Amino acid sequence: MPFHIPIQFQGILSTITLLDVLDILIVALILYKLYMMLQDTRAITLVKGLLVLLGLTLVCNWLSLHVIYWLLQQTLTLLFVALPIVFQPELRRTLEHLGQGRFFGKSLFLDDSEARSLVNELDKAVMLLSSRKIGALLVFEREMGLNDISATGVQIDGLITADFLMNVFIPNTPLHDGAAVIRGKRLIAAGCLLPLTENRTLSTELGTRHRAAIGLSEQCDALIVVVSEETGTVSVAENGRIVRRLSSEHLKSYLRPIFTPKTTGIKDMVLNWRKGK
């Protein structure tokens, strides 16, 4: 039995041009990039809340619940006015991506063998620093460039090895108290200064290194590894949050995605949404 397209759809399809298809693809690509930038950040929860409110507003309008519809409409109006304030870090991050020409670009990833070797070297160095209670700050650059941060320290540009990193953080040396900035498999600068967080709710156990790590993670997409000088505890700061007391395997699980490309399909996006990520 032949399949017949309804006349209404035939009329719609006849008006679609190649430029319309290109327009839709560009919009879809922009929305996908925005989702990837917001993924695993605090902003994604707010976006989900806005979508839920928008859905409720449409349902109330369809059911003719005029009072609830009016209240939700006013709430949405206020929320959209407050969006530039609520999403200030994410808007800043997006504008910096555009300014650096990296909004549609990709990070320079390593092949599997190089990535495994580099992660092992980094893990070995961090665990040695931890066992000897030598304080350290390691900043891993991702999509957003960190030239402004690396400019505050000493330019090095050396290949990463465990012994090399151990020498950088030797106590009572000029580079010991600063942060080391890592881009790919190279350490580009050491002794760098990081911005301190203004979050007043943090535990008093967190020292200057931890607050500096959180402060930088609030402003960019970098991942920062911290080794406590007092306890030897290994921590990771990312997206304004800090995870403490990491083991070797946990540390590797944070480091591997930095150097290997991550593919996110439609199924993964749906699962992440359901899990609240």
**In this predicted model, what pLDDT tens digit does every residue of 31-47 receive, in sequence order?**
887 776 666 555 666 77
How many percent of the chain have pLDDT more than 70? 75
Which pLDDT value is given to residue 119?
Answer: 93
234 and 202 assigned to the same domain: yes
User: Phi/psi of residue 180, each to 5°?
Assistant: -100, 130
122 and 246 assigned to the same domain: yes
Q: Return the top range by mean pLDDT from 77-86, 124-133, 164-173, 215-224.
A: 124-133
Report the pLDDT averaged over residues 226-234. 93
175 and 43 assigned to the same domain: no
94 and 154 assigned to the same domain: no
Residue 277 inside a domain? The answer is no
Report the pLDDT averaged over residues 188-207. 88
For residues 150 and 146, give the distance between their C-alpha atoms in angstroms, rounded to a whole number: 6
Which pLDDT value is given to residue 128?
Answer: 95
Which pLDDT value is given to residue 75?
Answer: 83
Q: Return the top range by mean pLDDT from 10-14, 15-19, 20-24, 189-193.
A: 189-193
* Token pair of 66 as six digits: 């005029």
CATH classification of the domain holding 152: 3.40.1700.10
Residue 4 inside a domain? The answer is no
134 and 185 assigned to the same domain: yes
Q: How confident is the model at residue 30 (pLDDT cuts 50, 70, 90)?
A: confident
For residue 238, what is the enclosing H or E element? strand 234-238
Q: Does residue 141 register a pLDDT over 80? A: yes
For residues 275 and 277, give the distance between their C-alpha atoms in angstroms, rounded to a whole number: 6
126 and 222 assigned to the same domain: yes
Which pLDDT value is given to residue 77?
Answer: 81
206 and 80 assigned to the same domain: no
Report the pLDDT averaged over residues 213-223. 90
76 and 122 assigned to the same domain: no
Pair 96, 108: CB distance under 8 Å: no
Structural domain range at position 153: 112-259
92 and 116 assigned to the same domain: no
Q: Does residue 263 register a pLDDT over 70? A: no
Which pLDDT value is given to residue 258?
Answer: 87
Report the pLDDT averaged over residues 231-249. 93
Q: What is the pTM of this model?
A: 0.61
* Token pair of 13 as six digits: 């399809």
User: Phi/psi of residue 241, each to 5°?
Assistant: -120, 155
User: Using one digit for the tens of pLDDT, what is the confidence trace for 56-110?
Assistant: 888 888 888 888 888 888 888 887 777 776 666 666 656 665 555 555 544 456 7
Pair 140, 236: CB distance under 8 Å: no
162 closest CA partner among 127, 137, 135, 111: 127
The full 3-state SS of 107-146, as one line of letters, equals CCCCCHHHHHHHHHHHHHHHHHHHHCCCCEEEEECCCCCC
For residue 158, what is the enclosing H or E element? strand 154-159
Which pLDDT value is given to residue 38?
Answer: 63
Report the pLDDT averaged over residues 168-186. 89
60 and 116 assigned to the same domain: no
Domain boundary (73, 100, 127) is at 100
Which pLDDT value is given to residue 277?
Answer: 44
180 and 224 assigned to the same domain: yes
Q: Per DSSP, what are the bridge partners of residue 139?
A: 181, 224
37 and 157 assigned to the same domain: no
220 closest CA partner among 49, 46, 84, 99: 99
On the 0-12 / 13-18 / 19+ scale of CB atoms within 10 A, 248 is: middle
Number of structural domains in the chain:
2
Q: Would you put residue 245 in left (φ > 0), alpha (ψ -120 to 50) or beta? A: left
259 closest CA partner among 188, 187, 189, 184: 184
For residues 229 and 135, give the distance between their C-alpha atoms in angstroms, rounded to a whole number: 4
